[in-house]
Amino acid sequence: MRRIVIFVCLLLSCLIFALPVSASERRIQQHYSVNITVECLETALETMRGLPGFDLNANITNVEPHTGRPVRQAYFTRRVDEWAFRHMQAVLRDMGEVRTESENAWHLGAELASLETRLKVLTQEIERLSVMMAASDSLHVLIAIDNHISRVSWERDRLIGRRNQIMANVQSVVMDIWLTEETEYIRPEQAGFGRRLADRFIRSWDNFIRGAGNFAVFMVRVSLPLTIWLAVGSVVLFAGIKLAKKRSGKLKTAEAEATGEGEANNEK
């Protein structure tokens, strides 16, 4: 009988440890990011509306990548419950071509344990201060205790808010989703030689135009100070030459006058 009881206890222990533990129970915060190229943005947005979760941020813009063809792009930051994350991930992968995909996780158990300890200490401190306030008769002491209780209560409320935020994060997954629509959606394995050659030519031409523009901007930045210095130097040189000519003329006039006075004295 004792062997049967021990066997049943071991079996139950194995079953308990074999049960899957969710990320919220393991205090793990998950983040998922994906960039997808879709054929039709309206269809993808309609599919997104039918998926679970709620959007923390949403934006739809028109962009022009290096290919030179204007495209539309949608960006979502969506919070999804942990149980619906894998299903939504599979639906997103079926929307189109997945360009980039990443999944990260952070363990927050230590931070939660620290928060719980600090909250317990602050609660005990508020209770102790309340007892001191009830036993005191001095108005000055009562005011000081009340101010201290207010500061401790504010700190406790702040920590409670942080704890609630962490609990909300570990019970859900934050997803960053980029949906990009191309004017002509062609998968790389379906593109022919002509299509690939045209894309390479367009990208090369865009790179050339971009490089020429950068070179022109660089030349303007370099030539502008050089032009200013040349102009200043030219003005200074012109003024110096003019001043030298003026002084030379005055010296010649003085020499002529001196020569004339010497001849006049000789005649006398």
Mean model confidence pLDDT for the chain: 76
Output the pTM of the full model: 0.47
b/e code 46-85 from CB counts within 10 Å (16+ = b): eebeebebeeeeeeeeeeeeeeeeebbbbebebbbebeeb
The per-residue pLDDT for 258 is: 65
Mean per-residue pLDDT, 208-225: 75
Asked whether residue 34 carries a pLDDT value surpassing 70, the answer given is yes
Mean per-residue pLDDT, 22-36: 72
Mean per-residue pLDDT, 172-196: 69
Structure confidence by residue, pLDDT tens digits, 101-144: 888 887 878 888 888 999 999 999 999 988 888 888 888 888 88
Cα pseudo-dihedral 40, 41, 45, 47, rounded to 10: 20
Per domain, the residue ranges of the chain are: 28-108+171-188, 109-169
The per-residue pLDDT for 24 is: 43
Q: Which of 11-25, 100-114, 197-211 has the highest mean pLDDT?
A: 100-114
Per-residue confidence band for 157, with pLDDT thresholds at 50, 70 and 90: very high
